[in-house]
């Protein structure tokens, strides 16, 4: 029996999932993307780990090298007026919209078609995949609350760039940070996200101090930081499964806001689950279980930043100390380095976890 899978939203996760499923003989996959192919945009700072990305792309015969715009030498981190040079491993910016469009060439996609839940349910699709990112346009908003980080970003040009490398300035209480990422050819993304909505003020201060030669684009969107395990990625509507993948399933690392690699990982977990078994319900439940296990560090990070922001994380809280230890180990681990693209030494981690 052929399974009809409809992927709603062909962005980071949706495109990769479609490409992976297109090679499975028993699955018929089609994507629906709200934006047009000609003017496809992705509001994101486009930073990722080139090697990790390559691991995913090789599975569909693409290579990360073809999409690199700029490569970091170090990450400049400004904390308390001091700029630290944090070592990096394969941290790059990529041409993300071009990559998504290339990945999406591997299967049938209908562009300029924004789908509603009702339309998806009446479309003869056996499995509806919600890959609509932050909107969760099909599976619906989480019933037990969400946690969003408002962000804003500008694409700018500098004749004389204020920094030679990738630069970030974290805000107090792990509420977010300002970023300045090179894109090559004198272009940069300058943006900020802040849980207390001070990001526009911080951004204005930065741009007043470092005036760009020109502003080419500006825009923003919220970022979901509630992780898998707290955000259930599977429901049934009229007996039809609706399964979320990518940011719709909570795959954003709550401390750094990274979602590209985790979204690809969630797509791979879903593709593995769906192509492995004959029993759809069992496959989808396997996906839910694996997501919860694979992203357990995201729940720690979420609890840590939530407690920090609410002012309940201090040295007398055992829960908070346990989180700090787990997260420090993660940042120093190979997995942490690969996921974040940075390779901090112990002294950097100690500075970063210090309550500031
Ligand atoms: C300002 C900002 C900067 C960021 N910077 C980074 C970074 O540098 N590195 C990093 O790793 N992560 C970053 N992230 C996070 C990352 O961009 C996302 O988490 C990741 O791209 C999510 O992938 P996704 O596939 O779930 O969603 P998306 O890539 O957003 O794809 C969702 C797709 O669904 C489409 N869509 C939505 N609704 C419908 C509908 N009803 N019908 C049809 N189509 C629909 C959209 O047009 C879009 O193409 C950033 C996020 C923000 C907001």
146 against 100, higher pLDDT: 100
DSSP 8-state assignment for residue 114: P
Segment 310-334 mean pLDDT: 89
Q: What does pTM read for this prediction?
A: 0.96
Query: Nearest to residue 46, comparing CAs of 186, 205, 170, 153?
Result: 153
Residue nearest to atom 22 of ligand 1 (CA): 247
**Which domains, and CATH codes, for the chain?**
3-353 (3.50.50.60)
Residues 124-167: tens digit of each pLDDT: 899 999 999 999 999 998 877 788 999 999 999 999 999 989 99
Atom 31 of ligand 1: nearest residue by CA position: 11
Mean pLDDT of the chain: 93
Q: What is the pLDDT of residues 26-36, one digit of tens each?
A: 999 999 999 99
What is each CA distance from 212 to 47, 208, 216, 323, in whole angstroms?
A: 20, 9, 10, 39
pLDDT tens digits, one per residue of 178-230: 999 999 999 999 999 999 999 999 999 999 999 999 999 999 999 999 999 99
Are residues 225 and 215 in contact, defined by beta-carbon separation less than 8 angstroms? no
Task: For residue 262, report the distance from its CA to the centre of ligand 1, in Å.
Answer: 12
Q: Whose CA is nearest to atom 10 of ligand 1?
A: 258
Which pLDDT value is given to residue 278? 67
Residue 251 has pLDDT above 90, yes or no: yes
Cα–Cα distances (Å) from 336 to 106, 253, 328, 329, 354, in that order, read 30, 11, 9, 8, 19
Asked whether 223 and 253 are in contact (CB, 8 A), the reply is no
**Residue 83 confidence (pLDDT) above 90:** yes
The beta strands (E) that lie in the chain are given as: 3-8, 27-32, 47-49, 68-71, 74-79, 82-87, 91-94, 108-110, 127-130, 148-157, 166-170, 176-184, 187-194, 214-219, 222-224, 234-237, 240-244
The model's confidence at residue 44, banded by pLDDT at 50, 70 and 90, is very high
Paired tokens of 316 = 């007398």
For 54, phi then psi, to 5°, come to: -60, -35
Do the beta carbons of residue 22 and residue 29 sit within 8 Å? Answer: yes
Q: Name residues contacting ligand 1 (CB within 6 A).
A: 8-14, 32-35, 42-48, 114-115, 131-133, 135, 137, 151, 153, 191, 221, 223, 246-248, 252, 257-260, 263
**The tokens of 340 are what?**
């974040």
DSSP 24-92: -TTEEEEEE-SS-STT----S--EEEHHHHHHHHHTTT--GGGGEEEE-SEEEEEETTEEEEEEBSSEE
Rounded to an integer, what distance in angstroms lies between the CA atom of residue 250 and that of residue 133?
A: 9
Average pLDDT over residues 244-268: 96
């Amino acid at each position: 029996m052929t399974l009809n899978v409809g992927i709603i939203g062909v962005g980071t996760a949706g495109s990769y999932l479609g490409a992976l499923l297109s090679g499975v003989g028993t699955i018929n996959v089609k994507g629906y993307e709200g934006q047009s192919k000609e003017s496809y945009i992705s509001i994101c700072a486009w930073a990722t780990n080139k090697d990790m990305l390559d691991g995913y792309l090789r599975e569909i015969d693409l290579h990360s090298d073809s999409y690199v715009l700029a490569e970091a030498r170090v990450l400049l981190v400004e904390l308390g007026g001091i700029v630290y040079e944090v070592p990096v491993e394969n941290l790059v910016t990529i041409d993300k919209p071009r990559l998504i469009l290339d990945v999406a060439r591997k299967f049938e996609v209908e562009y300029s078609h924004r789908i509603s839940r009702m339309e998806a349910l009446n479309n003869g699709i056996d499995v509806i995949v919600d890959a609509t990112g932050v909107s969760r346009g099909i599976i619906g908003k989480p019933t037990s609350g969400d946690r969003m980080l408002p962000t804003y970003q500008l694409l700018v040009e500098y004749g004389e760039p204020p920094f030679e490398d990738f630069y970030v300035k974290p805000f107090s209480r792990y509420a977010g940070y300002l970023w300045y990422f090179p894109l090559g050819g004198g272009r940069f993304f300058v943006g900020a996200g802040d849980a207390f909505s001070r990001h526009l003020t911080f951004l204005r201060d930065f741009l007043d101090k470092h005036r760009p030669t020109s502003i080419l684009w500006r825009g923003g969107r919220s970022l979901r930081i509630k992780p898998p395990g707290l955000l259930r990625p599977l429901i049934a509507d009229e007996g039809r499964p609706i399964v979320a993948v990518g940011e719709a399933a909570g795959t954003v690392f709550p401390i750094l806001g990274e979602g590209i690699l985790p979204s690809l990982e969630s797509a791979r977990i879903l593709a593995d689950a769906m192509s492995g078994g004959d029993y759809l319900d069992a496959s989808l439940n396997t996906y839910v279980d694996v997501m919860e296990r694979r992203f357990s560090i995201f729940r720690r990070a979420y609890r840590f930043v939530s407690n920090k922001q609410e002012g309940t994380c201090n040295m007398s809280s055992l829960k908070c100390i346990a989180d700090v230890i787990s997260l420090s180990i993660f940042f120093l681990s190979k997995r942490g380095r690969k996921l974040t693209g940075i390779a901090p030494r112990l002294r950097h981690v100690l500075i970063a976890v210090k309550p500031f």
